[in-house]
Structure 1
């Protein structure tokens, strides 16, 4: 148990330092949404389109979770689990007229997110703090919308992660998880193939990721908590243009000089980006959305 706690602390320290290092670089090149864009499948896009695609990712996630434009049950209290520098929180708070709180392991991210909220006149609506997603500092049933945009892959205990999302969701509240997964196993498979495990391990080492799981694993976890309206979808084809675009941006003069100023963790992550593309192209890595509702 002590070893497990030590490994968890080591992982969390690595995640925090990785994002402490890389967040400024990301913001300078890509803006304040630290997640994939949603594109039309097989589209070729210019850099100017990526920020619009990142907003589209948020909107498509809300649509998939059945939030409609005329919905009278829009959320009033939102938690952004793994908030980055707060792009989703600020967007959702403005869209729904809601209050939002974001949590991250990175002190640099939390500080920058609060600064951006203040600069945009949203400090009364959104706030950000350093906290562990597996032990959230919130009471049960607090939030109408529990939002996790590309943070689940960092969670070392997926069961505890999902349980916490369900715990802080209010009765009738919605949970949205958008995350990387590995492919679902076939009916006769007990594990991924050795080459797949090897590729994922290399990616994990670069991005401070624990063991991966599949979308089917997430669905089973949500079912075990008696959550309702569970559905998932593979969005891999809609994010395919993103990683090549990130690589292209890193190879610009601004990208290269900014990257060299960050630190070894960020450089190591940048060098691993082709591995992500290989995983996508081989059908090993899946970009999925999973949504559900807590019974009211």
Structure 2
């Protein structure tokens, strides 16, 4: 759907009704309530893609280290400082999963970190892991809506969203909330799934492309997708600075084949069957993620910026 934000043309998610929003959030929460334990048992505490060097031979044992590499590469891309004076001291993890990024960032920077998720199961598990890792005084987790965050304006030095933007039904409101809770001079990092940028003259994706994305959306509880350039335009419309974006699709290419391989292992199959129908539905569309990447419909994108001082 094409619209304008301060006279900037942007393709945004079509408006959803309040009932649709409630049903979407309920589905997201239940999906992660069901699937998070299974994911942790097989893949560990980081519920996101790994970052791989292109054309490198990937060993199965490398996948968890690739997830850490994703965090480090995102920080490097956004030029987040390790300097004792300039490093972030307060961080929000928007769509925190079971808190892997929150705990990693808290340890790396000695920072206070707050994670939010729609899943009560995730929030409880994230807090338990924080306590087990001696971080209960540094990190906290709660059930909250990313589109209506329970934080005051300008609270955080680093605003972190690792693969949660794709769940947001209102991308403008999502980005606006990230900006609102960011302190002056703060860095905002969004790593998310996007569809390809439209070519000049295109008003939408082709029907065959939309068909693939619709199947993925129905199983992963996603609203309609937007492009990387749509995110950039939204940030520009909000007067953010140092806006940068990159396509990391090639760097995450080994991820979904690896997830499918582990899902087909005995441990994966038994965990999947125990987790419930929503998780099984999600597993069934994983090959479509690979197809989407191969056909350049899906893009794995990073978009970063800074809030003006």
Contact 1:75 1:96 in 2 (8 A): yes
Q: Which of 131, 135, 141 lines up with 1:128 in the alignment? A: 141
List per-residue Cα deviations over 1:114-136 (Å, max 9, x = no partner): 00000000000000000000000
Q: CA deviation at 1:45?
A: 1.7
Q: CA deviation at 1:3?
A: 7.2
Structure 2 stretches of 5 or more lacking a match? Answer: 1-14
- What TM-score, normalized to structure 2? 0.94
Answer yes or no: is 1:86 the counterpart of 2:99. Answer: yes
Contact 1:32 1:85 in 2 (8 A): yes
Q: 1:199 to 1:3 in 2, by over 3 A?
A: closer
SS of aligned partner of 1:60:
helix
Aligned to 1:49: 62
Matches within 5 A, 1:132-151: 132-151=145-164
SS of aligned partner of 2:275:
coil
Cα distance in structure 2, aligned partners of 1:3 and 1:131:
19
Q: 1:53 to 1:130 in 2, by over 3 A?
A: same
Aligned to 1:211: 224
Cα distance in structure 1, aligned partners of 2:60 and 2:37:
18
Cα distance in structure 1, aligned partners of 2:113 and 2:16:
35
SS of aligned partner of 1:138:
coil
Q: Which of 182, 185, 193 lines up with 1:169 in the alignment? A: 182
Answer yes or no: is 1:15 the counterpart of 2:50. Answer: no
List per-residue Cα deviations over 1:76-106 (Å, max 9, x = no partner): 0000000000000000000001000000000
Cα distance in structure 1, aligned partners of 2:94 and 2:216:
22
- What TM-score, normalized to structure 1? 0.98
SS of aligned partner of 1:20:
helix
Matches within 5 A, 1:162-201: 162-201=175-214
RMSD of aligned Cα (Å): 1.1
Cα distance in structure 2, aligned partners of 1:9 and 1:216:
28
Contact 1:174 1:293 in 2 (8 A): yes
List per-residue Cα deviations over 1:116-174 (Å, max 9, x = no partner): 00000000000000000000000000000000000000000000000000000000000
Q: CA deviation at 1:68?
A: 4.0
Give runs of ≥4 in structure 1 deviating > 4 Å. none
